[in-house]
Each structure stands twice: as structure tokens, then as C-alpha cells.
Amino acid sequence: MTATDAAYDRKLERIVALTRDLVLIPGTHDRVAERKRCYEFVKNILEVLPGIDVQEFERNKYPSFVAHPSGHTTPEILICAHLDVIDHPDPETYRSSIRNGS
């Protein structure tokens, strides 16, 4: 295994861990505090990355942000995502599992 392979594996492990943590937050429409916790979770991760700026917005009491490379406020590509999830009565729904190493 090369140093590049090891670095890639560490990044992949971190992405999987962050994704699993994110899935645990039931940020539904009715759970405003959980939606806010999910928002803050992702924003806090992005804010500490070197070379990333985060601009926050709010519309109809829904917070949002745009994360972009420092100094590039009008990128050529914009990827949009939402962090809220649908409501489900079974809390086990907000769990993840790893099968066959991925």
C-alpha cells in the first residue's frame, strides 16, 4: 500500500463515519431542533476546512449555507443538497450499517 492509498483510505473512512453520524440525526420538518443540529453538524465540519468559506442564509425560518473555495464566490459548478429527512415512527430507521466493507 502506498502513502497515497493510505491517505485515500483515511479520507474514505472519515467520510463513512461522518455520513453514519449524519444519518443518526432525525432532522424532519416537525423536529426543528434536530434539523438545526443537522445543519450545524455539517456547517461546523465545513467551516474548519482550510480554503473553504461558508456563507449563511435564511428564508422562511429555514437556514441554509453555501460552502465554496475561498475567493471563489461564483463557482462554475454548484452542487445542491438538503439535509432534512422524512419522518418515520421507527427510530431504527435512522441507523446505518456497513456490509462487505462498504
Closest CA to 85 of 30, 5, 20, 10: 30
> Count of CB atoms within 10 A of residue 50's CB?
5
User: Which run of H or E residues covers position 63?
Assistant: strand 62-69
What percentage of the chain has pLDDT greater than the value 70? Answer: 97
Q: Which residue has the cell 455539517?
A: 42
Rounded Cα distance, 96 and 102, in Å: 11
The pTM assigned to this predicted structure is 0.78
pLDDT of 101 above 80: no
Q: What is the bridge-based pairing of β-strands 52-59 and 62-69?
A: antiparallel
Give per-residue pLDDT as tens, 17-66.
Answer: 998 898 888 888 888 899 999 999 999 999 999 999 999 999 988 889 99
43/73: higher pLDDT = 43
Rounded Cα distance, 41 and 9, in Å: 23
